[in-house]
Chains A and B, each alone.
Chain A
Amino acid sequence: MNTVVAGITYRALLGRRRVVLLLLLPLALIALALMFSFFGGEDQRTTVDLMRGFALSTLLPLLGLIAGTGVIAPEIDDGTIIHLMSKPISRPVIARTKFVVAASLVAVFAAVPTYLAAWILVGSEDGIASGFAVGTLVAGIAYAAVFLLLGVVTRHAVTIGIIYALVWEALVGSLVPGARRFSIQQWGQTVADQITTSPFFEAEVSLGFAVPALIIVTLAAVFLTGRRLRSYSLTGDE
């Protein structure tokens, strides 16, 4: 972890228009929660549906994508990354720092709003709010790592990330039950399910699979990002 790298990365992400993107979805989630509570929809079923159908399945992958690719891809595109890479800092340290920044952004902009939205609807009833907040947090950390890796591997990280989140996780996941085992979102639900006791919610992937999968995917993605940065090449216009 390098504090100078982290500081520049936070400024790049929070000081520009990207922060609007980071704020938009969490605000929408809280607005929805307020709307439901205003119209008397503050029951557990509605809350679980909102958490599973929006917080975990839409807000989280998109925020993971914005934060994960946002901490590095724009710098690679405009060449500013050379400022960090032409210094005596090992590239894996740069990768880990970028990951920590991305993960912290997902925690603030996804896990906290998820907790707030659920709390607005059902308070701390049956551990729904804390369950989904923790589920969002661990899945968000994995998303941040995977999309960080994507950001250093390809220039089309955002497109590929959206295809993964929408086509694989949402569409294939809903049609092919086996595909759900290989979905970060589903692993997040499994973790949430361990904490909440709500009868309206049951995860489909076992904890014994989800937790190791989350850990392995996260660590592998950060490791591979570091390796990729070690062989980062500048190809001129010539």
Chain B
Amino acid sequence: MKIELSQVSRWYGNVVAVNDVTMTIGPGVTGLLGPNGAGKSTLLHLMAGFLAPSGGTVTLDGTQVWKNHRIYRDIGLVPEREGVYGFLTGWQFVLSAAKLHSLPDPEEAARKALATVEMEEPKDRRVETYSKGMRQRVKVAAALVHDPGVLLLDEPFNGMDPRQRLHLMDLIRAMGTSGKTILFSSHILEEVERVAQHIEVLVAGRHAASGNFRDIRRLMTDRPHLFRIRSSDDRKLAAALIRDDSAGGVTLGRDGLEVQATELRRFARLLPQVARAEGVRLHEVSPADEDLESVFSYLINRSS
């Protein structure tokens, strides 16, 4: 099954949450990556039929998603908000999902779904007594109970301990391999890399990049990098680097140099050569912007 978004925008008053996004989510695991506030949840809600696009169309195998309750036969949704009735037990919660789907054998389906997320043992406790990770798992069980072709998960790993996280990652990967269409959102690159075969990057409501994790990694390595350098003669080194094209900009500060490298590989090769030629000894070369936020801000500027 595939979800297709065609020139989808969504705005709230004057604020644009999702801006002209076109993408197709097909079988396998797709990670929706972006910083907080990028519009990931908005995009997920648009795909799940819980938000009307202000422009463009969202379809599931060619069928309109908005105002169409039939799509939920094929979609399982794990929202980010808790959304679990605290007064029900885990078993009652998942069983109610099975019954709401009018499954022929709701008990068996609920048992199977709870087993899939390893929640058989605490299933008779009320949901309000569960930890955040356990709640997350019963939510996943309820979303899986009708064996949907499409599974949408909004920040599914939030609040899970490492063991639970690994277990859910394995589960998502296995479902992806079995041919289901799975999309999950996350703001953590490592999470997405470990689970998703395909990554869609969303930055400031725009579709900033798309590809497998190698493509995304490459994109992130090829961007301009900022380095902090301390040496025996910062002034001399700065002058030499400016003469060379590999540095886009050099700032001389009290603690050393800040160098904007336009091409990472060329810069990495040239820096020692330039230093040796000038007789300057390098004390420290460290990347100043390896965090994801700076990668995202680069992508924002690139896409706008």
Contact = CB atoms under 8 A, between A and B. Distances in A.
Q: Do these two chains interact?
A: yes
Interface of A: 2, 4-5, 7-8, 11-12, 15-16, 78-80, 82-91, 230-238
B207 to A, nearest CB: 16
Given A15-B87, A79-B83, A231-B67, A84 B51 contact: no
Nearest to A237: B41
Query: Which of A80, A86, A90, A231 lies at the interface centre, i.e. has the most chain B CB atoms within 10 A of its CB?
Result: A86
Given A8-B96, A238-B41, A232 B50 contact: yes
A138 B177 CA distance: 57
B100 A238 contact: no
Nearest to B82: A79
Contact of B17 (A11, A12, A90, A238): A238
Given A90-B69, A238-B41, A12 B87 contact: yes
Interface of B: 12, 17, 36-42, 45, 48, 50-52, 67, 69-73, 75, 77, 79-85, 87-88, 93, 96-97, 99-102, 142-143
Given A8-B85, A235-B51, A89 B41 contact: no
Contact of B100 (A2, A11, A90, A235): A2
A12 B85 contact: yes
A13 to B, nearest CB: 11
Nearest to B45: A234
Given A4-B96, A231-B67, A16 B17 contact: no
Where chain A touches its partner, the secondary structure class is loop
B233 to A, nearest CB: 48
Return the 4 tightest CB-CB contacts between A and B, nearest first. Answer: A236-B41, A87-B100, A234-B50, A79-B81
A231 B81 CA distance: 19
A86 B87 contact: no
Contacts of B12: 235
B97 to A, nearest CB: 7
Contact of B79 (A16, A79, A87): A79
Contacts of B96: 4, 7-8, 83
A87 B97 contact: yes
Contact of A86 (B41, B77, B102): B77
B79 A82 contact: yes
B213 to A, nearest CB: 24
B68 to A, nearest CB: 10
B67 A230 contact: yes
Given A11-B87, A238-B37, A86 B48 contact: yes
B101 A83 contact: no
Contacts of B88: 8, 11
A234 B71 CA distance: 17
Contacts of A85: 50, 69
A231 B69 CA distance: 11
B50 A88 contact: no
Given A230-B67, A237-B41, 11 more contacts: A4-B99, A7-B96, A15-B87, A79-B81, A80-B82, A84-B100, A86-B72, A87-B72, A88-B69, A233-B45, A238-B39
Contacts of A12: 85, 87
B73 A82 contact: no
A4 B99 CA distance: 7
A79 B52 CA distance: 18
Given A88-B72, A89-B69, A234 B87 contact: no
Contacts of A79: 79, 81-83
Given A80-B85, A90-B69, A236 B100 contact: no
B52 A233 contact: yes
Contacts of B75: 86
Contacts of B71: 88
Contacts of B52: 231, 233
B50 A82 contact: yes
B77 A82 contact: yes
A233 B100 contact: no
8 contacts: A78-B83, A86-B75, A87-B97, A88-B70, A89-B69, A234-B50, A238-B39, A238-B40
B288 to A, nearest CB: 28
A89 B75 CA distance: 13
A78 B85 CA distance: 9
B50 A5 contact: no
Contacts of B70: 88
Nearest to B40: A238
A8 B89 CA distance: 12
A87 B101 contact: yes
A16 to B, nearest CB: 7
A238 B41 CA distance: 8
A11 B96 CA distance: 13
Nearest to B93: A83
Contacts of A88: 69-73, 100-102
A201 to B, nearest CB: 43
Contacts of B97: 83, 87
Contacts of B79: 79, 82, 234
